Amino acid sequence: MIHLRNMSIEGPSDERFPFDVPALQGLEIELTRPVTFFVGENGSGKSTLLEGLACAAQMIGVGSYSLERDPTLDAVRPLSRALRLAWAKRTRRGFFMRAEDFFGFVNRVKREQVEARREAERAQRENADMAPADLARMVGAYGGAARELADRYGEDMDASSHGEQFLAFFRARVVPEGLYLLDEPEVALSPTSQLAFLSSLKRATEELGCQFIIATHSPMLMALPDAAIFTFDAQPVAPIAYEDVEHVRLVRDFLAAPERFLRHL
C-alpha cells in the first residue's frame, strides 16, 4: 500500500545546510512502490532527507529521545518545514529508525525491564502487611510490565546478537498499514540476516499493507523485487535500475576479482 505518494522541497535556495546539499535542490520524488530505497555516497543527502521527512511526518522515533526533543535532528528541522508531503492515505502508524538509534533503544528496554522488576520487589517488601489480594494486584502491575517487555523483545536481550535483536524488534513493532523510515538497517545485519530482513519486508508489504522508505548501502537489500531505487548521486535525485547502482557494480566487480582491487592497497 502507498501511504505517502509524493515529497518535494519548497524552501530557501541559500547556502545553509541542509539546503546546500546538491541532491536536495529542486527535489521531488514520486513514491509508487511499497518499498523505496535511497542510495548514494556518504554525504549525498539521503539520510538528511530521511531525517527531515521523519520530522515533517511527525513520526515516532525508536532512539533514546522523541523526535521533538532529539538534539541530533536540530539541523534538519528547517528542511522538515520546507518539505511538502502528498498522502494517498495518511497514517499515524510506523516509526523512524537510524542504525545508531537501535543501540539506545536496546539499552532503554533493558533499563525498563530492570526497573519494573525492582519496583515489583520493592512493592512486595514494603507492603508485606497488605491484604494478599491487594498485594498481588500491586506487584502484578510491575511484574506485568516486565513480562510484557520480555514477551515482545525477549527475556534477555544481551543473550542475542545485535542482528537477532534487530530482527526481533522489527517483527514485534511492525503493524498493519504503517509507514517506516529506516536509515541503514543493514548495519546490524549479517548477509544471512539481511535475507531474513528482506523476507520480513516482503511480508509486511504484501500482507500488512505497509510502506517503507530505506536509505541503504547494501546491494542485497536493494535487490528486493519490485522496489523503487532513487540515486542521490544524481542531481536532481532520479530513479535508477538495480544493475546501474554504483554500489552494486562495485561489489559485483570486487567479488569477481578481488585481487584487481587489493593490489592497489
Domain count, the chain: 2
Q: Strand 228-231 to strand 238-239: parallel, antiparallel, or no bridges (unpaired)?
A: antiparallel
* 177 and 70 within one domain: yes
* 42 and 92 within one domain: yes
For position 149, what pLDDT does the model report? 45
Picking from 160, 159, 152, 226, the residue whose alpha carbon sits closest to that of residue 189 is 160
For position 244, what pLDDT does the model report? 97
Q: Sorting pLDDT into bands at 50, 70 and 90, what band is 265?
A: confident
Q: Under 8 Å CB-to-CB from 89, ≥6 apart: which residues?
A: 1, 2, 3, 177
| Three cell numbers written together for 31 | 513514491
Q: How many percent of the chain have pLDDT more than 90?
A: 56
Question: Could you report the per-residue pLDDT of 87-134, keeping only the tens digit for each?
Answer: 999 999 999 998 777 666 666 666 666 565 665 566 556 565 555 555
* 153 and 169 within one domain: no
* 218 and 131 within one domain: no
Mean pLDDT of 79-83: 94
Q: Which of 115, 142, 157 is the last residue of a domain?
A: 157
The domain in which residue 138 lies consists of 104-157
Q: Sorting pLDDT into bands at 50, 70 and 90, what band is 222?
A: very high
Q: Which of 157, 184, 201 is the last residue of a domain?
A: 157
* 194 and 86 within one domain: yes
Question: Could you report the per-residue pLDDT of 153-180, keeping only the tens digit for each?
Answer: 555 555 456 678 888 888 888 999 999 9
Picking from 78, 46, 43, 15, the residue whose alpha carbon sits closest to that of residue 237 is 46
DSSP 169-210: HHHHH--TT-EEEEE-GGGG--HHHHHHHHHHHHHHHHHH--
